[in-house]
Every structure is written in C-alpha cells, then in structure tokens.
Amino acid sequence: MWFSWLFGYAKVAFYGAKNTIILTAKDGSEKSLVDICKSATPTCRLHPLLFNGHLQTMYTAIGKQSIPIIYKRKVFESDDPEVAGSFVVDFVVHEPSEVDKTLPPRTTYYSEDELANIGSLDIKPMLITLHGLSGGSHEDYLRHVFAPLCTEEGGWEACVVTSRGCAMSKITTEVLYNARATWDFRQVVNWCRKTFPNRPLFGIGYSLGANILTNYLGEEGNKCPLKAAVVVANPWNLEIGNVGLNSTWLGREVYSKTLGTAMKRLFMGHVDQISKNPRINVENVMNVKYLFEFDRELQGPTWGYPTENAYYRDASSSDSLLAIRIPVFAVSAEDDPIATKLALPYEEIKKNPFACLCVTSTGGHLAWFELGGGRWFVKPIVGFLQTMARDIDHVKSSKKLDDMIQAMIQPSHADAGFRPMRRKLRYHHDPDD
C-alpha cells in the first residue's frame, strides 16, 4: 500500500458483462470489447503528491497548461421547434487564428466563404464532443485529448457541441440547457453525417456531457450513427450524486457552492433573455448558493419538474446505459468527489455487453494528473479511439452486433419487460409512443 502511494500507482479495475461484444479487426482477428479496453489502458501512475481525489480535483484550478488547439465556431439554429433557439459548435482547425475578444481564446467564427466550403469527402474519423457543466471547448481536459488526435499523425477531426449559453455563446430563447439536453448533439451528429458522409463518427462526453451523451446513446439504441463512444467521469445517477455531494462539508461548501456559483454566473450573463420566461423567479435564482438550489429554482420551473430530485431522477443516465447498442468505454475514478462512486452503475454495466467500465482507485474529477502535468485518462481514451478507428472492421463487425441485438430483444430475455428509455420528459424518438 505504501509503495503504491509513494510512487503514485493507482489500482485499475474493469467491469462489464460476462461476455462483451466481439468485434472483427481488419486483419481478420476477433477481439472482445473488454479486451480492447484493457489493451488501450496503461498502468495508472499519478502524481504522488496529489494522492487523493480532492487534491487531484483542486489541482485542475491551478494546473493549467497551454495546449494550442485552434477552433472555428459555427452557429446552428435548432431544427426542433419544441427546443427552438441557437447554439454553437467549435471545430478544431489547424491554421493560425485571429483574436476575437468576444469568444474564448484561439477561437474565431467561420467566415461565410469558409462555411460554404466546409463539407468534405475525406475518410478521417471525427470526434464529436460534449463538455462538462458550464464549460466549453476551451477546457483543458478535452484539449488534452484533442492534442494527440487532431494532428497529421493522429489523423482525426473534432468538434465541440457547446451547451446553450456556455463558452461566451448567446442564447436566443428563454431557457438554458439541462442534463438531458440531447437534441443539439443529435442535430450535430446528423449534420456531420450529411456534411462529411465518408467520415466515421465517434462521440465523447465529460462529466455532465458524459451524462447527456449516455442518454443520447440510449435514446438512439441500435439506430445510433456513431461507431463507438467514450464517457469520462459520468455522474450517472444525479440524485445519488446530489446526496453524496451534500453529505460532507467539503462537498457542500466547496464543490456544490462552486458549481452553483458557476451556473448562477452563467444565468446572470443571459438574465435579460431568460427572465422573459414567466416560470422563472429571477430573485430566487440570484439568491442561490449551491448547485441543487440552482436546479430547484431554474431547471425545475423551466422544464416542468416539481423538485430538483424529480429532475435528477429523470435526467440520470444509469438506466440509459441498458439501452446502448454501440461499443462504449466508460472511465471513472473511485475518489471522484463530484461524480461519486456510490452512483457507479456496477450492476447495470453487467447487463449490457456493449459497454465496459474502467474504474481507477484515485484520480479525482476529470483530473488524473501525472508528474509533469499530463493527464493519465488521455492514454486509454486515445488508445481506445485509435483502435476503434484504425483496427476494427465495422462492416464485418456489424453483422455480429446485429445478431446480438436481436438476441437481446427476444421475449426470453430477463429484462424484456423493462423499457429503460421510457423517460418522463418528452422524447422525440421513443419507439413505444
């Protein structure tokens, strides 16, 4: 034990179904999903002075690095009238960028000429990203992943779907995003299929973005157009997470208050627009201190939830995990103070052969800092994505996956009567409606 602490070694464990899906490689060999995930995951050796989840997590505030990822921003108009409004997507580009003080660093808008020629017939894999609560494409944790992928050697293209109102974007309706806001991500995926018809598409989500992505994957089921996905530090069960967060002084007075302050600041940046919503009591929102209070005063009234716990139960993604039908690699830390281990879906993951969960004994929330400032979680994620993009024959694999999907929906299946995506908040593509 002391040896592991002294040298920063963390335990790594994998969880999944007894027999995860089998994928066919381009060389004709067959590999199980869990073996692919294990092969992509190196030894976890973190900074020995950041020896618990609190230190790892707090270091994210001071351990900033210069990772020169450059973006061009495109404004989208929602194609769904029930969630009308605009949102933005930041695309990774490679040419130097001018300074636009109205946008995050290294980000400018596409010009009209650039937008007119944005389409491509290339076959580069493309990573569609969802950031964490109140974040954006400027966040270090996602730029750490882009750095090795979005190079000539890496061979990837990437973009970040920005939650409405985040990252200096404007909102044009009376609502912010929520933890089940899958509609903008869905629109971008469909747009990418048309604009880049030859690119295999992959998804990745971080923290709240991981929860949203997991819900999207469950909603799409076997019709999901992504080849594979990664979810990092997913809170999974938001109600349990809220209880865990507020069960300690540090959780309530540091993490919950910090997150609540960030969301209140986001609200204040758009208060003129949001205050037009007759359901919102602006004074109540302005007086919140903690994240659960913000969800009670803004998210609940906005979306029709009577309490924050009703919102958390409906928005949680642990049940959505059961409906996923593409390969998914989930990475979490046991000592994550925000996405608590109490909410990790150990039993659900055993029921779905399309998913594998990697849990480290330490690492904090979206941290996993190593000596030198690198982040360990980048290695298994990049390894997994490169394997899925370069080595797996998705055409040959699809027949086996289709057969497994058919077997899973037979009446004899133990969970045949449970519909994990029968959500309370209206969902456009519910096959049972």
Alpha carbon separation from 342 to 8, 236, 254, 284, 306 (Å, rounded): 24, 10, 19, 31, 25
Side-chain-side CA neighbours of 300 within 13 Å: the count stands at 18
List 207, 317, 318, 397, catalytic entry: 207
**What is the C-alpha separation between 169 and 104, in angstroms, rounded?**
9
Active site residue 336: yes
Active site residue 131: no
Query: How do beta strands 201-206 and 12-16 pair?
Result: unpaired
**What is the C-alpha separation between 244 and 314, in angstroms, rounded?**
18
Q: Based on the number of CB atoms within 10 Å of its own CB, is 55 exposed (0-12), middle (13-18) or buried (19 or more)?
A: middle
**How many C-beta atoms lie closer than 10 Å to residue 259's C-beta?**
20
Dihedral class, residue 85 (left if φ above 0, else alpha if ψ from -120 to 50, else beta): left
Contact 356, 35 (CB under 8 A): no
Active site residue 138: no
User: Which of 160, 141, 158 shows the shortest CA–CA distance to 149?
Assistant: 158
**How many C-beta atoms lie closer than 10 Å to residue 351's C-beta?**
18
- DSSP-derived secondary structure letter, 405: H
Strand ranges (DSSP E) for 254-337?
328-333
**What is the C-alpha separation between 245 and 258, in angstroms, rounded?**
12
List 90, 314, 335, 336, catalytic entry: 336
The three-state secondary structure class of 112 is helix
List 47, 138, 270, 365, catalytic entry: 365
| CA angle in degrees (0–180, nearest 5) for 201-178-161 | 30
Fill in the amino acid letter for 92. V
Place of tokens 């950031």: 131
Report the catalytic residues.
207, 336, 365
